[in-house]
Amino acid sequence: MAGFFGMFDYSKPGAGVDKGGPQKKRFFLFFDIYFRKFWKLVLLNLLYIAFCIPIVTIGPATAGFTYVLRNYAREEHAFLFSDFIDAFRKNWKQSALLFVLNCACIFLIVNAFIFYWSMESTLFAIIAMGICFFLGIILLFMNYYAHLMIVTTALPFKHILKNSFFLSFIGVRTNLITTFFVVVLGGASAFFYPFSLPVIIFLLFSTVGLIVCFNSYPYIKKYVIDPYYREREEKNPLDMPDGTDAIFTDIGSQEVQEKPSGKKGKTIS
């Protein structure tokens, strides 16, 4: 018997789930992935915390963390430690730059909000605080996509930011759903602290990260990866059935080019 209702079943091939099999609804698929990868998510959570302790490594550690979770989200195998380290090493420049940019933006937005909050309650102050709040939400939404694109594509950093900005609006409904779960899990962990400390140490970050990757990656595939292959009339390796000779090695070896104007269909680059 392969686990309780299929949970904690590690007897499946390392390459992932059979893509030719019946497709589950995404709600049930998420929990299927979550429980199949439960103990690996625990280990990944510990690994991520350990690599974030020096602070300056948070950006590259997030790249390694995201790479593993992205593979889990699309039901592909990942060697937890070695893939984490490889993604950490290969993407450290862009991920470190994103971390610095995030810190700078958060600092500016928070201080601007506090400044306008301390002002007399005027219409201008209220509008200014609303703008600060809106910018903070957009920054959060952009981060749902930026880390994934860093580990999935070879796009220049400015294109990653541009795509993340557009996707924050294109996927707004999904982004709001993702944010709901992020806020609930993070808020509950903060409210019940220190009793929630074991959850934070062993599961919080990997659970939140898997939710983000699971919800956000389909938008990157639809609006960034798929248009790249359609434009070149090439077969997308992600769509090939298991057992074919073509193996997806990320599109990191090929830069996703800007799309020329006049193309039909909604694409971003």
Structure confidence at residue 22 (pLDDT): 62
pTM metric for this prediction: 0.81
Supply the DSSP string of 235-268, one letter for each residue: --GGGSPTT-S-----STTS--PPPPTT-SS---
Residue 256 lies in a domain: no
Residue 140 lies in a domain: yes
* Cis peptide bond N-terminal to 156, omega within 30: no
Q: What is the mean predicted confidence (pLDDT) over 199-217?
A: 98
Structure confidence at residue 19 (pLDDT): 52
Instruction: Give the Cβ contact number of residue 212 at 10 Å.
Output: 24
Residue 188 lies in a domain: yes
Q: Name the pLDDT band for 216 (thresholds 50, 70, 90).
A: very high
Residue 9 lies in a domain: no
Residue 250 lies in a domain: no
Residue 6 lies in a domain: no
Structure confidence at residue 87 (pLDDT): 98
Structure confidence at residue 229 (pLDDT): 83
Determine the structural domain holding residue 180 and report its residue range. Answer: 26-239
Domain count, the chain: 1
Give me the residues paired with residue 76 across strands: 16
Residue 36 lies in a domain: yes
Residue 41 lies in a domain: yes
